Amino acid sequence: MPSSSHAPTHIRRLSPTYVLPLLAISGLLLQHTHTLPLTPLHHLADKDHTLNRVFVKQGWAWTSAAVGIAHTAAHTSRAQRLRALRQYAWLLAWWFVCTQGVPWPGGIALWQWTLTPPLMDRVFTWTGGACSYDVFAPGGSGSGAVDPAFHGTETPQRRARLLRGLLRRLQGWARSSAGAETRIAAEQLACALDGETCHADSDADALSVNAAVREYAHALHPYAGASSRACRALGGYWSGGHDPSGHVFLLCVMLVYVGAQWRACGRSRVARAVLGGVAGVWGVSLVVTCAAFHTPWEKAVGFVCGYVFAMRVVRRA
C-alpha cells in the first residue's frame, strides 16, 4: 500500500529548517575554538579522505540512489514521485549553474552553446580572485625555486602531488610548440621537486617563465583564469578573492532535499534507514567542512545560497 503522506510527529520535527543551521554553527564553533583536532572528526578534515573523495564529490549520485530506493521501498504515490522529480530538477539545475557552469549561446544556431564559468567562480573573480600560474619565486635565495605561496594552503603531501601533476603537464607542453620558457619551467620544477639546487639567470627569467606558463594555459582554455574547474585541470592555483564554499552549498542542498523525501516516505523503515544514513554522512561532512575549510563569510555565502533556495523549492515545487 502507498505510504501515508503524513509523516509521524517525530519525523516532522527533524526539519532541515533547524538541523542545518545547528550543524553549520557547530562546525564554526569548532573552527573558532580550534578544538577540531581534539574530536574524532579531525581525521576527516582532509580533501583526499574517502569521505570527501568518494562520497561528497559524488554526492548527487549517492543522493539520487538513496531517494530512488526510498520511494520504491515506501511505495509512494505517483504524485509524490513527480513532486520529488520536480524538486530534484530545480535543485540540480541550481547546483549546476552555481558550481559547474552557466550555459551561454556560442553562435547563431540554437545548438551552439558554450559553458561559461559558474556563478560562484564569477563571485570569486569579481572580488579580485584569479587562477595563479606564478609557479616560481623571483629573487631571494631560491631564484628559480617554487614559490611557497603556490598551492601554499594545501597540506605538504597534497601540494607535492599537485606540483607533480603540474610537472607532467609542463613536460607535455614542452614537447609541443609551447616555447622555450615552458621547457625551462618543466626543467626547473623537476629540479625543485627532486630536492636539487635550481638557479635562474635572473629575476626576469622567473617572471618571464611564469608569464609563459600563464600565457600557454590561457591559450589552451578560454577560461583558464576565470574557471576553478579549468584552473585545476591546467595545474593552476585558485587564490585571492571571496571564494564561496561549494561544499557547504552542495551539502545544504542535498540535506534539504533528503529531508523532504524523508517526510514524503513516511513510516517505511527501509526508506528511513537509507535516507537517514545518507543524511548522517552529509551532516558530518557539513560539520567538518565548516570547521576546517574556508573563511566564515565564504561558508556563510555557500550556506545561504544552498539553504534558502533549497528550502523554497521543497516547499513550493
Place of cell 563569510: 297
Q: Which residue has the higher pLDDT, 85 or 56?
A: 85
CB 228 within 8 A of CB 36: no
Q: Return the domain boundaries, the chain.
A: 9-103+243-316, 131-239
Maximum distance among all Cα pairs of the chain, rounded to whole angstroms: 79
Can you give the pLDDT at residue 298? Answer: 92
CB 88 within 8 A of CB 257: yes
Dist. CA 305–CA 299, nearest whole Å? 10
Dist. CA 35–CA 176, nearest whole Å? 50
| Phi and psi torsions of 112, nearest 5° | -90, 90
**Chain centroid to CA 103: how far?**
19
Residue 120 burial class via C-beta count within 10 angstroms: exposed 0-12, middle 13-18, buried 19 and up: buried
Dist. CA 295–CA 157, nearest whole Å? 22
Q: Give the model confidence (pLDDT) of 20-74 as tens digits.
A: 888 888 888 887 787 777 677 777 777 777 877 888 889 999 999 999 999 999 9
Can you give the pLDDT at residue 199? Answer: 55
Percentage of the residues of the chain whose pLDDT score is greater than 90:
33
H helix runs in 127-202, sequence order: 156-175, 180-193
Kindly calculate the radius of gyration of the chain based on its CA atoms and give it in whole angstroms. Answer: 23
Can you give the pLDDT at residue 3? Answer: 45
Can you give the pLDDT at residue 9? Answer: 47
Task: pLDDT band for 16, please (50, 70, 90 cuts).
Answer: low
Dist. CA 43–CA 21, nearest whole Å? 23
**Sign of the CA dihedral running 45, 48, 54, 58:** positive
